[in-house]
Chains A and B, each alone.
Chain A
Amino acid sequence: MFERTKLILVACIAAFAALSPLIGGMNPYYFNILISVGISLILAVGLNLVNGYTGQFSLGHAGFMAVGAYLAAAMSLGILFPYLDPPQWAPTAEELAADPQATVAKWTYPFKALWLLFGWLINALFWCHNHIIPLGAALPGWGKFLFALFYGGAIAALAGLTVGVPSLRLKGDYLAIVTLGFNEIIRVVLQSADPVGASRGLPGIPLATNFFWTFTFAALAIYVVWNIVHSTYGRGFLAVRDDEIAAEAMGINTTKYKVLAFVIAAFFAGIAGGLYAHFFQYINPEGFNFMKSVDIVVMVILGGMGSMWGVCAAAVLLTILPEVLRKVAKIEALPEWAREIAENRMIIYSLILIILMLARPQGLFAGWVKKKTRPA
């Protein structure tokens, strides 16, 4: 029984490898959609661990995707980060020569404090990045791409840990707001980060993502999350969702589980970001805004939080839906208002969600696949 899930995984990966050359030759428009579906699957399956199985509410998943996308791209492009300069601690020699009484303006004090708190940390991270880049560059072919992906995933997981530890003491709406804030901070920082193109975005990323890698990682994400939540270890995530007080009383460290869910989800979001960057070959901060996070949350809610196949189905559906709507918006025969609605998927999403909450609060697809709760 334990071997069966592993066997399915290996069979899937083999099938993807066999299909990859065939599918690579298909109509590029449909190929684009197919790869987007794979990326959505990774994002939604990861977020389902946090929002679905563990019952937290993260609204900043695109932020982790951005971290993964930018760092994987920086790795592939060999972008080094320039170190931040420390603030001016004392007047320079010239300033003193001009005015012996010269002092450094009082308003720089807050910056000094910030520097003391974070400056050295940021520079230490930059130092690590600048020393890891050559390691990746030395690898041949796919090795370099995979290294870039895992680098992006690892740093996204680190970001998940950093955001998760202080904020997972918050509940519900508060956690949603903090994660949303994280998403926005990442976006704003990227918008002014010159080494990675600031708001112009980062073009020229080499094409490396293909059908095989995208769906292999999607299968891995599904495999890993499935294994976790069906193991005794991972039942702890569901226990946290069901009743935190009872979970603690049963010896489950609820904070650890919440952080763990966050870190795993962030890792996969980082991988998804790296795949995205190496497929579309261009990324910009707006691609990872709040709306992108909402897209992923809607997939999880629509699929039925904590239902693996429901969430997968919703991820596929909601990735294809905008393309269908785009087609609908072009149909001349439709009245103007209908075409306008079709052009704005957020209106459709909100409608779907409102109807869903009223009619099927457990999610569209939850319960379609009979729940199998025996351990394998």
Chain B
Amino acid sequence: MSAPLLDLDNITVQFGGLKAVADVSFSIGERELVGLIGPNGAGKTTIFNAITGVYRPTAGHVSFLGKKVGHHPPYIITARGIARTFQNIRLFASMTVFDNVRCACNMHLKHGISHALWRGTKVAAEEQRIERDVMELLEIFGLHEQRDENAKALPYGDQRRLEIVRALATKPKLLLLDEPAAGMNPTEKVELMKLIRFVQEKFALAVLLVEHDMKVVMGICERIVVLDYGLKIAEGTPGEIRANPKVIAAYLGKETAA
């Protein structure tokens, strides 16, 4: 196997006495779609936060494209090519759908503040290019007609999709999706998963997906990592995971298990 895109090496994240993530290692290859599952409080979101620089791992380190990223602030990690969505939706509340996505194009701008002040000719050309890119992404997710609506006025499901669009606008190599289908009904979920597969192939992305619905995860992911109480209890193909006794035990009595 060639060097993985993302590599977690014995990551531990501790909050006071609580080890939210304990010695977790796994890696993601290019263009791979990996599922991250586990009961509530298992540490999935914490792993996302450790990868994106929101938290610094207490021990261990994260490598991306063969380089350690641990000590960088989030915006630099994003610039390297890791984008994410948030479990508790974090759209820019005062902005329109279009502007939410536009913000994510910010770091790819070739002009600086001096051009923006004056609205130089460079700006005009770039703004047009950005508008085209943003609209293209919005169209993929069927949000182009709501471009001028306030982001927070969208239905819940659309807000989640907008978060994905916004993350894609940063042009990532790795996309981290934290429960993107939460609150959706089964048909919407299936639609969304198809879309995720579609953009994954179109933009040649690696995706790490957190999702509670086992049927959905099993259907879409090539590989699955299972967390429980901060520990990685299993990793493998959907078939292996389904048969793993530890996983069955962790999910026992939890109706999300299929």
Contact = CB atoms under 8 A, between A and B. Distances in A.
B184 interface: no
Given A234-B116, A236-B106, A254-B75, A246 B95 contact: no
Contact of B106 (A228, A233, A375): A233
A252 B92 contact: no
B187 interface: no
Contact of A250 (B53, B73, B93, B170): B170
Contacts of B106: 232-233, 235-236, 239, 250-252
B90 A245 contact: yes
B60 to A, nearest CB: 21
Interface string A153-172: 00000000000000000000
A121 B58 CA distance: 40
Interface in B115-130: 115-119, 121, 123-124, 126-127, 130
A246 B92 contact: yes
A327 interface: no
A340 B221 CA distance: 75
B99 interface: yes
Interface stretch (B22-30, B76-84, B237-245, B250-258): B76-84
Contacts of A228: 113, 116-117
B75 A231 contact: no
Interface string B80-109: 000110100011111110110011111101
A70 B109 CA distance: 38
Contacts of A5: 119
A249 B178 CA distance: 13
B220 interface: no
Nearest to A256: B75
Interface residues of A, number: 33
Interface residues of B, number: 47
A373 B96 contact: yes
B233 interface: no
Interface string A345-376: 00000000000000000000000000001111
A2 B124 contact: yes
A260 interface: yes
Interface in A243-269: 243, 245-254, 260
A306 interface: yes
Interface string B52-67: 1110000000000000
A228 B116 CA distance: 6
Contact of A235 (B75, B103, B112): B103
Contacts of A224: 117-118
Given A227-B116, A232-B102, A247-B103, A239 B92 contact: yes
B172 to A, nearest CB: 10
Nearest to B108: A251
A55 to B, nearest CB: 9
B78 A251 contact: yes
Contacts of B95: 235, 238-239, 242, 373
A281 B111 CA distance: 41
A251 B118 contact: no
B99 A235 contact: yes
B222 interface: no
B92 A375 contact: no
Nearest to A246: B90
A225 to B, nearest CB: 9
B148 interface: yes
A24 to B, nearest CB: 30
Contacts of A236: 103, 106
Contacts of B126: 232
Most buried by B among A2, A6, A231: A231
Interface string A1-31: 0100110000000000000000000000000
B38 interface: no
B148 A238 contact: no
B123 A2 contact: yes
Contacts of B103: 232, 235-236, 238-239, 247, 250, 252
A245 B105 CA distance: 16
A241 interface: yes
B74 interface: yes
B117 A375 contact: no
Most buried by A among B53, B75, B78, B93: B75
Nearest to B105: A232
Nearest to B166: A250
Nearest to A234: B116
Contacts of A241: 94
A253 B94 CA distance: 19
Contacts of B123: 2, 231, 233
A248 B74 contact: yes
A251 B98 CA distance: 17
B131 interface: yes
B118 A242 contact: no
Given A233-B106, A241-B94, A248-B74, 9 more contacts: A236-B103, A245-B86, A246-B92, A247-B103, A249-B167, A250-B170, A252-B106, A374-B148, A376-B127
